[in-house]
Amino acid sequence: MQTISRVTRQFCSAFCLLVAVVQLSHPARAEMSAWANNEGGRMRLIALPPDASGTIRAGLQIEPKPGWITYWREPGNSGIPPQVSFSSEGVSFDKMSFPIPKHIADDKVDEVAYDASVTFPLQLTAKDPALRELKANAFIGICKEICIPFQAELSLTFEPLASSRPDEEKILRDAEAALPETASSTFKVDDHTLSADMKELSLRITLPESGESAPKVIVAGPSGHVFTKQMATHRDGNKFTTTLSVGKLPKAYDIHGKTWSALVIDGSRAIETPLAFE
């Protein structure tokens, strides 16, 4: 099935940061908030104190209950993408990253999502590398037969004299390791072409290894639109060509100067790469 969605994005507020001294001679320590619970799962905030440059590594960890899912940044037909808000003088929210999702399609759903525990890496920058308290407002969707909005305020405190927290540090490392790779000479989209009527997108892809099965391709187009339906595919060793159905785009949409992105999943490996249109 093709998945095309337009989701009303609700922006949540309130990340508040206060200050405390973190001795640079101590090893990095991770802290975590209490779990916030919902009918379909739970979530919490995990973070490391700022490093000497003010960079804060953090993560929003979500654990759906069995049979439930939560969503990628472009979720599919009816999902809600995860959002976290930050607001504090001297602190900026740089980015949220997204581990490799699944394309989940059956008679009931057609979504790009996660059906197991997932942690979204977050990066912030603080002007002052000393930090005491971190507060967040997170908004996600947890879905089974229906999608339930899940909003929670999450907070944690950095304790300068606390011992190292290897379990939380491992969660952040594993989350970063689960991200798609950067495109390289051995794994990349070589070329992309959108048909004149903007109904079909053709891709030529170099894959990291030879094989016979078709990789999964998920294309995020304009905000709220994701395309997964491969109409025609051909794999010859590590070379792969595919044409995806694009379907309906926003009214009077002008592709010139726009950039979409392609997520290519081949076995246990994946890349996400931009698709620029002149």
Residue with tokens 């802290």: 31
- Copy the structure tokens of residue 179: 């991200």
Contact criterion met (CB below 8 Å) for 238 and 208: yes
pLDDT digits (tens, 9 = 90+) for 94-109: 999 999 999 988 777 7
Burial of 150 (0-12, 13-18, 19+ CB in 10 A): buried
17-177: CATH topology is Immunoglobulin-like (2.60.40)
Stretch 206-235: mean pLDDT: 94
**Where in the chain is CATH 2.60.40.2320?**
188-276
pTM: 0.84
pLDDT digits (tens, 9 = 90+) for 76-90: 767 889 999 876 667
User: For residues 126 and 110, what is the distance between their CA atoms, to the nearest angstrom?
Assistant: 39
Residue 177 phi, psi dihedral angles, 5° rounding: -70, -20
Nearest to 15 by CA among 72, 82, 89: 89
Res 277: pLDDT: 97
pLDDT digits (tens, 9 = 90+) for 7-63: 333 333 333 332 222 233 334 446 899 999 999 999 999 988 888 888 999 999 999
- The rounded percent of the chain whose pLDDT value lies above 90 is 64
Q: Helical H runs in 81-225?
A: 166-177
Q: Which sign does the torsion angle of CA 140, 145, 146, 148 carry?
A: negative
C-alpha dist (Å) from residue 243 to 4, 191, 204 = 16, 12, 9
In CATH, the number for domain 188-276 is 2.60.40.2320
Res 142: pLDDT: 93
Residue with tokens 């930050």: 86
Contact criterion met (CB below 8 Å) for 90 and 71: no
The 8-class DSSP code of residue 115 comes to S
Res 89: pLDDT: 64
Stretch 193-221: mean pLDDT: 96
